[in-house]
Structure 1
């Protein structure tokens, strides 16, 4: 086995991972509740993979009710070293048509109803999030998309909205003025939590539609989205296969692996033991920090 264990978070349309040499299935209990579904552990080549469908099999869980803390915690407990998230998204740019894959490097978070941190009253943490995705894993994923025959754009800003409804036209036009390139409902707080868990995170957006900013077109059409989603998912499965076999044998450390060492944390004497116990998987490695 290689030094990589890649957690794959599958988005809409990606609920299974054919071709995975299955090793085990894990129903994980976390202090934050249950993750979205059973996590399937397997191997492609020498790379260990942990696959979790974000919405659960059959798309059972709406965006605002996804237990992102449990998902990230469970993958961390099972030994994930890096996370690759795959999400269906709408496009806010003419040059990002349906069918294109987009490597995300920035986020605008417009969600309002979701727990966004593992930390809280009794144990505060201020963690760097200036560059929320991992350039190394993103580059590997982009190369795999190209090898799979996908059309890929590198570098985009993802606007996370609450959902589950799609945007109004006024909202869609506003998001374009904010500098967003694509729009989705699930990458936040997922990316925030991955950073707190010291897991390098890459997000691949699979464009299904143009949202509703194009004034000469109808809004989001479900039949068109589903058809494009299935086509995108087929390419996504190929990119995972290619990525797993193309990763270097040795995983060199990433700065994100130790990001909590540079976080600002509540002073040890003031920390809440109950919250500290819930954070056992997150803080297991931490050896230093900048205490308040």
Structure 2
């Protein structure tokens, strides 16, 4: 197995860990958000990409999600931990807490490329269970290593952004049962399922969106993110070795996804599928 980490807002590097090399990976879907770093903790190597690019210059709608996931898959990644900043839609999920969703609600606007299967390749895949419960169990087993509250289970609603919600929107999302709100985990999580990669999110709660209090400013949200960054780095120091030690297997959901006859596939299409379905 090989582990990939996708860093979100505030988590642009993992400078506490040893860097082995920095890789520029080409994909049929364009360039990833950043060079992919190979890092090491306790002799366990893993790959790291920063979702918004170095210096946070890529908006949620403009992230090349397909290139990020394909590049990690090309490197042999089998498991992904996504680090993401979110707002809370639940009283009990407070700013500063960590939240592990088990479901996603796609509330984006159709601006994002959300599938590898297109342009003459048809594939259908179930995302009924988009989160790897095996990875979540690994997170649970090391939660006591970090001084913050953890919450497990609930829905992450993904909006287009880059604007935050109106109060009416925030109340709507609460009314349909969403627990947290973010801007990046769809299509990232669904593409991971298409690529046969186990995926789990560690969501860093920054605020109560705008339903509970006066709307938070970017400065207030950034202050909470910065406080959480040290916690998530501490978590990863323990989580990464634990994932490798657990070596938990999982059933790939993409094995029989493609329905297009092989005789109709171009050489380039087959090369893409050979990587995705391997």
Task: Give the TM-score band, short-chain normalised.
Answer: over 0.9
CA deviation after TM superposition for structure 1 residue 220, in Å: 2.4
Cα separation, 1, equivalents of 2:101 and 2:246: 25
Contact 1:42 1:49 in 2 (8 A): yes
Q: Which runs of 4+ in 1 moved over 6 A?
A: none
Match of 1:233 in 2: 229
Contact 2:138 2:246 in 1 (8 A): no
Contact 2:121 2:258 in 1 (8 A): no
Query: Could you tell me the TM-score, scaled by structure 2's length?
Result: 0.95
Contact 1:81 1:199 in 2 (8 A): yes
Give 3-state SS (helix, strand or coil) of 1:254's partner. Answer: coil
2:192 is matched with which residue: 194, 204, 217?
Answer: 194
Listed as ranges, the matches of 1:28-43 within 5 Å are: 28-43=25-40
Match of 1:181 in 2: 179
Cα separation, 1, equivalents of 2:116 and 2:26: 16
1:87 is matched with which residue: 84, 88, 100?
Answer: 84
Match of 1:163 in 2: 161
2:218 is matched with which residue: 219, 222, 226?
Answer: 222
Match of 1:275 in 2: 269
Listed as ranges, the matches of 1:251-262 within 5 Å are: 251-256=247-252, 259-262=253-256
CA deviation after TM superposition for structure 1 residue 6, in Å: 1.2
CA deviation after TM superposition for structure 1 residue 21, in Å: 1.9
Give 3-state SS (helix, strand or coil) of 1:126's partner. Answer: coil
Cα separation, 2, equivalents of 1:121 and 1:280: 16
- The Cα offsets for residues 138-178 of structure 1, whole Å up to 9 and x where unpaired, read as 12123333312221001120000000000111111101111
Cα separation, 2, equivalents of 1:250 and 1:96: 28
Relative distance call for 1:250 and 1:89 in structure 2 (3 A) is closer
Match of 2:209 in 1: 211
Cα separation, 2, equivalents of 1:182 and 1:229: 15
Cα separation, 2, equivalents of 1:137 and 1:25: 26
Cα separation, 1, equivalents of 2:113 and 2:184: 13
Segments of 5+ residues of structure 1 without an aligned counterpart are 286-292
Q: Is residue 2:104 matched to residue 1:107?
A: yes
32-41 or 133-142, larger mean C-alpha shift: 133-142
Match of 1:289 in 2: none
Note the aligned Cα RMSD (angstroms).
Answer: 1.5
Cα separation, 2, equivalents of 1:75 and 1:121: 22
- The Cα offsets for residues 183-220 of structure 1, whole Å up to 9 and x where unpaired, read as 00000000010001100000011100011112xx3112
1:60 is matched with which residue: 46, 57, 72?
Answer: 57
Relative distance call for 1:26 and 1:248 in structure 2 (3 A) is closer
Query: Could you tell me the TM-score, scaled by structure 1's length?
Result: 0.91
Cα separation, 2, equivalents of 1:253 and 1:92: 33
Match of 1:22 in 2: 19
